């Protein structure tokens, strides 16, 4: 047995890098710091530090949750929220190395979202400050999934022995991160998605190598009775080029196999199961589910701030 690695100065790039004990360490720091958010009082743990948010793709939840966390700890924040707002916008015009050898002087930690998979990892190679991956293309989304697992852990008191029904587009980064994370726990994945959105072969090979337990199932209905956690992403993507009326029509397009309805929950779900969704949603999760015992997505949103407080404090060495 070795001592635990320190989080000081560490990059948060992939949940492949997290070991079992490290998940619990992060959860415990989130528990320690969440009172600032609950009591709505900014503290002063990070007043002497600056967060740089480098978002090459628009984002609401992830960017604001990360910035809110920094503010809650008294810290400073600057950055950009859209590639169009920066001359460094086009990845192919300026190398990540060149970009990082500028950004690293403007803040003490870099939170990066990028449209290209691997960009935060490339940034971390060159940066003198920690880099937090806030979503990289089809890659990973570790801070979101740490939030999800933290929410799960707070509900069940454990992550072991749980079955997680993952429904949505399996090529999405959250799905990658949560399946990687399962390798560190006694968890089983139940994977439900349209055929054209299924796990890629190379990703399946990786899961096998890591002994991640999962089964592919045809529909939510066929496995919801087994699920402790129902982890959702849309299968219909919002089309922002459409007009109001056209967009409204899209809302009815999710096939029944990939929806979680109030009826289905009442008929088949475990009483103790919880639903997580990083939102925004299309029609895979109708609003009347919000009032069921299962809905945990807004608590999840709140936990997103506590989780980023924990990560920022850890990599900046303000807590251990």
Return residues touching a copy of itself (CB under 8 A). Answer: 37, 40-43, 47-50, 52, 58-61, 64-65, 67-68, 71-72, 74, 76-82, 84-90, 92-95, 97-99, 101-103, 105-108, 129, 238, 240, 244, 247-248, 279-281, 287, 298, 301-302, 304-305
**Closest CB to a copy of itself among residues 18, 297:** 297
**Closest CB to a copy of itself among residues 52, 190:** 52
Least Cβ distance, residue 307 to a copy of itself (angstroms):
12
Least Cβ distance, residue 1 to a copy of itself (angstroms):
33
**Closest CB to a copy of itself among residues 187, 306:** 306
Query: Helices (H) and strands (E) in the chain — how many of each?
Result: 11, 9
Least Cβ distance, residue 68 to a copy of itself (angstroms):
4
Least Cβ distance, residue 3 to a copy of itself (angstroms):
26
**Closest CB to a copy of itself among residues 110, 227:** 110
**Closest CB to a copy of itself among residues 64, 197:** 64
**Closest CB to a copy of itself among residues 43, 168:** 43
* CA–CA dist 135, 150 (Å, integer): 18
Least Cβ distance, residue 195 to a copy of itself (angstroms):
26
Using DSSP, state whether 130 is helix, strand or coil: coil
Least Cβ distance, residue 315 to a copy of itself (angstroms):
13
Joined tokens for residue 265:
């929950």
Do the Cβ atoms of 166 and 189 come closer than 8 Å?
yes
Residue 313 CB burial class (10 angstroms; 0-12, 13-18, ≥19): buried
Q: In DSSP terms, which residues pair with 51 in a beta bridge?
A: 77, 109
Q: How far is CA 315 from the centre of its chain?
A: 18
Closest CA to 273 of 182, 162, 125: 162
Q: Which residues contact 251 (CB under 8 A, 6 or more apart)?
A: 282, 283
């Amino acid at each position: 047995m070795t001592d635990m690695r320190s989080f000081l100065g560490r990059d948060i790039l992939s949940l492949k890098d997290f070991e079992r004990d490290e998940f619990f360490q992060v959860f415990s720091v989130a528990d320690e710091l969440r009172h600032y958010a609950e009591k709505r009082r900014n503290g002063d743990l990070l007043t002497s530090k600056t967060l740089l948010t480098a978002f090459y793709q628009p984002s609401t939840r992830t960017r604001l949750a990360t910035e809110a966390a920094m503010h809650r700890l008294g810290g400073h924040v600057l950055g950009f929220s859209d590639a169009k707002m920066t001359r460094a916008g086009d990845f192919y015009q300026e190398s990540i190395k060149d970009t990082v050898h500028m950004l690293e002087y403007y803040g003490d930690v870099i939170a990066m979202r990028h449209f290209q998979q691997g960009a935060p990892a490339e940034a971390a190679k060159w940066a003198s400050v920690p880099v937090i991956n806030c979503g990289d293309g089809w890659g990973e989304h570790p801070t979101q999934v740490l939030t999800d697992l933290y929410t799960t852990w707070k509900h069940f008191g454990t992550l072991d022995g749980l079955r997680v029904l993952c429904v949505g587009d399996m090529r999405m980064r959250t799905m990658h991160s949560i399946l990687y994370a399962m390798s560190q726990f006694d968890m089983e994945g139940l994977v439900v998605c349209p055929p054209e959105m299924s796990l890629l072969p190379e990703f399946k090979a990786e899961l096998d190598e890591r002994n991640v337990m999962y089964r592919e199932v045809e529909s939510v209905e066929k496995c919801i009775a087994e699920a402790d956690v129902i982890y959702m992403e849309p299968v219909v993507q919002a089309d922002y080029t459409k007009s109001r009326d056209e967009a409204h029509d899209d809302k009815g397009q999710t096939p029944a196999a990939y929806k979680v309805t109030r009826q289905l929950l009442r008929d088949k779900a475990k009483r103790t199961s919880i639903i997580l969704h990083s939102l925004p949603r299309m029609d895979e999760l109708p609003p009347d589910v919000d009032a069921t015992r299962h809905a945990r997505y807004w608590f999840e949103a709140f936990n997103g701030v506590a989780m980023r407080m924990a990560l920022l404090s850890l990599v900046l060495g303000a807590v251990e």
